Chains A and B, each alone.
Chain A
Amino acid sequence: MASDHSQLARLNAQTLVDLIGEDMDTIARFQRDFVTQAESSCKLFLAAYSNAAYAELKEHAHFLKTSARAIGAERCSEYLAELEDAALSGDRQDCRSVLINIAQEIKALNALINHGE
C-alpha cells in the first residue's frame, strides 16, 4: 500500500483561512492543538494496532482525519484515510506501513508547526 502523497501539501495554511478567516493567531493555535491531538491519536493507533482491534483503529483514524482536513494537513489526512481503509479490510501489513507514514508525517508537522522547520 503506502501510497506516495508527496504531491499533496503537508500543511495548507489556506484551508483554515477559508474556514475561519484570517485570524492568524487562532489558526496557529488550531495547528498546535492538532499536533497535540495527533500525538495522542498515534498512541491510540498503536494500541489498537497491537491488539489487532481494527474497528477501533478505523474509528481513531476517522476521528483524527476530520481534524487533519480542517487544518489543511492534506498529506496526513490522506494517510489517515488509507489507515481507515486498511483497518476496515483488516490488512495488518498495510496498517503497519501506513502507521509508519502517519507517525513520520505527524513528526514533520510538529517540527513545522511548533519549531518552524
Chain B
Amino acid sequence: MDIHLLDLPLLTVNDQWQVLDCNQAAGSLLSLTGKTDIRRNFFDYCQLTDTDEQNRTFLSQTPGSSAQALLACGTRLNLTISGNLTAETCLVLNSVKHPHQSYLNELAELALQCGNIGVWQVSADFEQPYFSRTFCELLHCHTLSSWQDFIDLIYEDDKPLALSFIEEHIQSNVRLKFEFRVMLDSVPHWFELSGDQRRNNDTQLSLFGILRECTQEKQMLIHLNNAHESRRIALEAGKVGTWRVNRQNTHWHWDWDPQTSAIFDLAAQDTGSYEKWLERIHPEDRKRVSNGLKEALETGKDFEHVFRAVLPNKEELHIFAKGVVTDDGYGNHCRLDGVCVDQSEVYRAYSKLSQLNAELETRVKSRTSDLKCAVTKAEQASRAKSDFLAMISHELRTPMNAIIGSLELLSLQKHNPEEMELLETASVSAKNLVDILNDILDINKIEAGKLELEFREFDISKTLHNVLLTFASNAEKRRVSLKVIESEQLPTMLYCDENRIRQVLFNLLSNAIKFSGPPAKASGNVVIEVDWQVQSHSQGELSILVKDNGIGIDEKTQKKLFHPFTQADKSTTRVYGGTGLGLAISRKIVDLMGGRIGLKSKLDRGSIFRVCIPLHRFSHHTAPSLFQHVYVIPAHSAQAQPHLLSVLNTLTDDLHLTELDELASPSVSGTLVCCCVHSEQDLARLNEYKEILAEHKVLICHQTGVAEKLRTILPDAAPLNIGLATRYGITRQVMHLLTHTTEKSASLNNTEENPSGESQTKTEEVQANISGLRPGILLVEDNTFNQNLMVKQLAKLGYTCTLAENGEQGYESWQRDEYKLILTDCHMPVVDGYEMAKRIRQTEKQLARKAIPIVAVTGAAVKNELENCHLYGINDCIGKPVQLERFKSVIEKWYGK
C-alpha cells in the first residue's frame, strides 16, 4: 500500500529503526524537511517515554504494539506498529493533542467492527483501492484486488445507477450514498455504500467511505412501502378518507388525509380546519354530526353516522363516517381516529335499485293482474266452449234421434234396392253423427272433470260377450276375423264402471276392425285377449289386449294418438272417418280408473293396444252343476278348445270326451252333448247322427259360415261361434237349451199347435198331473207375448191353462170343455172379450149351465173397464200387467166358484 495516499500519519522503518519513507501527515508531524531526513534513525526525532520494559515489545517491532514518545517540540506521540499496511514496519503516528484521542480511535475501530461496517478507499482514478477485511467479508470475498472487482459484484440492474452515483460524486462532490444489490449464494442482498472525497497533500483526490448491509431494512422498507401503497390504493379506490382528532392541552386538534380533502373538495390549506369541514355538511345533518362527534369525544363511545355533504358545485354526497376513541392510559379520551367513506355511488345505485324494484313490483303486479285476467278469460272461454259444445251436441242429438227414428220407420216400408241403400247410408251416417256427438259430450265432460265413474258389480264375461256380438256381424261384413281369448282365471264378478269399460272396448275394437279390413287390407284378423293378474288377495289387474294386423301407426303419430282430435294423418280421416276422440276418451277413462293404456305398432304390420285396470273388488262364483253328464265330441282331427272344456266342466258333474258313434240314447235326463264342428266332414257326421242327437240337448261349437247348415241339420241345437265363445256366451247357450226344452212341454198346451179336441185335454191333464199343476183355466188372449207371460205366471202359481187367441176360439173352447175359470183380454180381433162373455152368459142361461167365473185382464184402466165388464157378465177385472200377488188373489177368489 502506498502510505502517501492516506491521511493517517504513517512512516516506515527498517529493523534498525532507520526511516525509510513517510507520508505528508507524518512528515508534517515530525517536522521532516526533505529527503535528507530519510535514512535517519527514527529515535533522532523523538524519545520513548515509557520504561524499557514497557517498550521492549514495541522496540522489537511487534505488530500492534505501541509506545508513547515525546517530540523535541514537546508534542506527545502515540506510536503504533501496524503489520498490515506495508511490507516494512509501518508506524502509525498519532499526536496526543487530546488526552482521549487514542481512546476515540480505538472506539471508532470497535464501532466499525461491532456495526459490521466495511471501510473502503480508492483514488479518483480508481487505482490502488483499499477494502477492509469486513468489507470483503460482507461481500463474501476473500480479497478484492481492484476497484473493478468490486464493481463486478454489483447486481447487473443496479450497476449503471451505482456508477452514475460515483461519477456524479466525483464531479459534483455530492455526498456519496447509494444502495445496490449483490447476489450472494443466489440470494440478492442489499448494501449501502456511502462515502466522501478528500485531497491528500499532494492534491491527489481520493474517495473513501463505508459499506454496510441493509437487506433487512430494505426488505422492511419494501414491505412497508407495499403496505402503504396498498392502503393508499384501497383508500383511494374505496373513496375512503382518514381523519383524526388529538387533544392538545385543552384544545382538540383536527387533521385528515388528502383523500378526505378530495372527498369534501377542501383545499390543502384547509386541512385540519374543523369549521371548514363542517361547512361542507348538509345543513340538515350538520347539528346531528357535530353533536355526534362531541358525544364521542366526551363519552368515548364510537362515532358512526351517515350524513349528506354539499360540495361547492352543489353536488350532494352521501358519507358514512365512523371513528373510534382511544384514551391516554389514564382514562382520558385523547384522540379520535376514523374514516369517512363516500357512498354516493352506492346510494345512487341503491336509489336506482329501489326505484327499479318499485317499478318491477308495479310491473309484476300489473302483469299478474293481466295474467289473472287472461286466465279468467281463458277459463271463461274454455267453459263457454265446453258449454257451447255440450249444448250444441245435446241440441243436435235431439233432431238427430228424430232423423234416425224416421229413417228406421222408412226402412220398414218396401223399397227398391237403390232406395234401401240410400236409406242405409243415411241411417249409418246419422248414427255415426250421434256417436260423434256423444264422444264430444264425453270428452267435454272428462275435460271439465265432470265425468264420474259409476261403480257396480258386473260380469266382465257378459260385457265382453255383448261387445263381441255387436261387432261380430260388422267384422264379418268387413272380412275381418274376430277372435276372443278369455282367461280362465277371470273373476266372475268385477266391481267397476261397466259402461265405461265397455266404451273402451268399443273404441279399441271398432278401430281394430276399421283399420284391418277393406279398404286398408283385403282381410284382417283381430284378437281380443282378456286376462287377469292376481296381485294380492284383495287386488288384481284386468288386462285387455286388442291385436290387429291392420295398417299400423308410425312412431310419430303414436306419441300423440291419445290426444283429442288426433288421427294418424288427414288421409286417415278422409278414408276412414272418425273424430279422433275415441282413444283420447279411452285414455281419460282408464286414467280415471287408475289404470294405463298403451300401444305397440308397426306401420303396415298392425297394432297392439293394451289396457290395464287395477281392481280392488272382485269375486269368483262357482256355477251350479246343471248336468249330470256332458259329452264333448271334438272336431275331426282337432282338439276341443281348453277354455270350452273348462267352462263346461263347471256346469257338470262328469265331463266325457267321446265320439258320435259311441253316443247312446239318453238313459237319464240331465245330459248335454257338445259337438265341435270345424269342417264339412264334421257337418256330414252330424247329419249322419242327427236322429240320435235330436234326443239330446245339443250344443254345437262351430266357426263362422256354417250356421245355416247347422240349423237345417239340427234345428233345436244351440249354436256357439267358438271364436267368440266367452264363459258367459257358453253358459248362456247351455241355459237356453235347458229353458227351451222346458218350454217345449208347456207349448204342447197351445191350442194352435195342438188343436184337436179331447186328446189334447187328456194330454193336458196327464201333463198337468205329471207336473202337479191344476188345470181348468181358459186363457183368452190374442197377444202371444201376454199369453206366454200369463202362462208362466199361472205355472208359478200352480195352474196350467188352455189358450185361445180371441173371443171366438174362447167361446168354442168353453163349449167343448169343462173349465173352472176364464181369463180374458177385452180388446181382441174377431170377437172381443165383452162379446165372448155375453155369448157365454146367454148360452149358460139357455142350457141352464152353471155360470163360469170370467175375469177380464185388460190393458186399459181398470176403473173405467169394471162397469163395462159387469154389463157383459164379466165378474172381475184386473189390469195388465198383473202383479203375481194380485193374480193369485183373483184366481183364488174365482177358481172353481
The answer on a CB contact under 8 Å between B881 and A69 is: yes
The reply to whether B789 and A70 contact each other, CB–CB distance below 8 Å, is yes
Residues of A near B789 (CB, < 8 A) are 19-20, 30, 70
Q: Are A63 and B409 in contact (CB under 8 A)?
A: no
Kindly identify, within residues 727 to 744 of chain B, every residue whose CB is under 8 Å from any CB belonging to chain A.
Answer: 735-736, 738-739
A104 touches B880 (CB 8 A): no
B470 and A115 contact, CB distance less than 8 A:
yes
Of residues 401 through 442 on chain B, the ones whose CB sits less than 8 Å from some CB of chain A are 401-402, 404-406, 408-409, 412-413
Contact with A along B878-894 (1 / 0, CB 8 A): 00111110000000000
Chain B nearest Cβ from A114, distance in angstroms: 8
- B793 and A103 form a contact (CB under 8 A): no
A29 to B739 Cα, complex, angstroms = 9
User: What string of 1s and 0s marks CB contacts (under 8 Å) between A92-117 and chain B?
Assistant: 00000001111110010000001111
Check A116/B462 contact, CB under 8 A, given A19-B882, A103-B409, A104-B408. Answer: yes
Query: A21 vs B887: C-alpha distance in the bound complex, in angstroms?
Result: 13
A66 at the binding interface (Cβ < 8 Å): yes
Q: Report the bound CA distance from A88 to B450 in whole Å.
A: 45
Q: A25-B735, A116-B462 are in contact. Are A65 and B401 (CB under 8 A)?
A: no
- When the two chains form their complex, are residues A70 and B462 in contact, meaning their CB atoms are under 8 A apart? no
The distance in angstroms between the C-alpha atoms of A25 and B784, with both chains bound, is 18
Check A19 against B881 for contact (C-beta < 8 Å): yes
The answer to whether A30 touches B782, judged by C-beta atoms less than 8 angstroms apart, is no
| Complex contacts, A100 vs chain B, CB 8 Å | 402, 405-406, 409
Closest approach, in angstroms, between the C-beta of A30 and any C-beta of chain B? 6
Indicate the size class of the contact surface on chain B. 35 or more
Interface of A is mostly: helix
Task: Select from chain B the residue with minimum beta-carbon distance to A115.
Answer: B470
Partner of B405, one of A25, A26, A59, A104: A104
A117–B466 touching, CB < 8 Å: yes
Q: Which residue of B lies closest to A27 (CB)?
A: B792
Which residues of A17-49 are within 8 A (CB) of B?
Answer: 18-21, 23, 25-26, 29-30, 33-34, 37, 42-43, 46
B403 CB, min distance to chain A CBs, angstroms: 9
Is A46 a contact of B409 with CB atoms below 8 Å?
Answer: yes
Closest residue of chain B to A24 (Cβ to Cβ) is B735
Q: Are B735 and A66 in contact (CB under 8 A)?
A: no
Task: Name the A residues within 8 Å of B793 (CB-CB).
Answer: 19-20
Assess whether A25 is in contact with B413, with CB atoms less than 8 Å apart.
no
Task: Give A71-104 interface residues, CB cut-off 8 Å to B.
Answer: 99-104
Of A59, A62, A107, the residue contacting B408 (CB under 8 A) is: A107
Asked whether B378 is an interface residue with its Cβ less than 8 Å from the other chain, the reply is: no
Please tell me if the beta carbons of A42 and B412 are within 8 angstroms of each other in the complex: yes
Q: Which residues of B contact A37 (CB under 8 A)?
A: 783-785
CB-CB under 8 A from B739, the residues of chain A are 25-26, 29
| Chain A hits for B412, CB < 8 A | 42-43, 46, 103
- B466 CB contact (under 8 Å) in A43, A46, A116: A116
Q: Give Cα distance in the complex from A20 to B791, angstroms.
A: 10
Task: Give Cα distance in the complex from A117 to B474, angstroms.
Answer: 15
Are B785 and A115 in contact, CB atoms less than 8 angstroms apart?
A: no
**B406 contacts which chain A residues (CB < 8 A)?**
100, 103
Q: Is B868 close to A, CB under 8 A?
A: no
CB distance from A88 to the nearest CB of B (A): 12
Kindly list chain A residues whose C-beta atoms are within 8 Å of the C-beta of B788: 30, 33
Instruction: For the complex, give the distance between the alpha carbons of A9 and B404 in Å.
Output: 20
The reply to whether A63 and B884 form a contact with Cβ atoms under 8 Å apart is no
Chain B hits for A115, CB < 8 A = 466, 469-470
Residues A99 and B409 in contact, CB atoms below 8 Å apart: yes
Task: Please tell me if B467 contacts chain A, counting CB pairs below 8 Å.
Answer: yes
Within 8 A of A (CB), among B162-211: none
The listed residue (B401, B782, B785) touching A104 by CB distance below 8 A is B401
Contact A20 B792 (CB under 8 A): yes
Given the known interface contacts A21-B796, A46-B412, the answer about A116 and B405 at a Cβ–Cβ threshold of 8 Å is: no
Q: How far is the CA of A103 from the CA of B423 in the complex (A)?
A: 15
B357 at the interface (CB under 8 A from A): no
In this assembly, does B842 line the interface, its C-beta being within 8 Å of a C-beta of chain A? no
Docked pose: A107 CA to B406 CA in angstroms:
12
- Min CB gap A102→B, angstroms: 8
Say whether B785 contacts A116, CB under 8 Å: no
Considering the chains assembled together, what is the distance between the CA atoms of A37 and B735 in angstroms? Answer: 23
Determine the distance from Cα of A6 to Cα of B473 in the docked complex, in whole angstroms.
Answer: 30
| A42 contact set on B, CB distance < 8 A | 408-409, 412
Interface status of B463 (Cβ within 8 A of chain A): yes
- A21 nearest CB across to chain B (Å): 6
Q: Specify the chain A residue showing the minimal Cβ separation from B466.
A: A116
CB distance from A38 to the nearest CB of B (A): 9
Closest chain-B Cβ to A16's Cβ sits at a distance in Å of 8
Quick one: given A62-B859, A70-B880, A104-B401, are A116 and B469 in contact (CB under 8 Å)?
A: yes
26 contacts between A and B (CB under 8 A): A18-B883, A19-B881, A19-B882, A19-B884, A20-B792, A21-B796, A23-B792, A25-B735, A26-B739, A30-B788, A33-B785, A46-B413, A63-B783, A65-B859, A66-B783, A69-B880, A70-B789, A100-B405, A103-B406, A103-B408, A104-B408, A107-B405, A107-B408, A114-B469, A116-B467, A116-B469
B-binding residues in A (CB < 8 A): 15, 18-21, 23, 25-26, 29-30, 33-34, 37, 42-43, 46, 50, 59, 62-63, 65-67, 69-70, 99-104, 107, 114-117
With A25-B738, A67-B786, A69-B881 already in contact, 5 other A-B pairs whose C-beta atoms are closer than 8 Å: A37-B783, A46-B409, A50-B413, A70-B789, A116-B502
Top 8 closest pairs, chain A to chain B, by CB: A116-B466, A104-B405, A100-B405, A66-B859, A70-B881, A67-B785, A103-B408, A103-B405
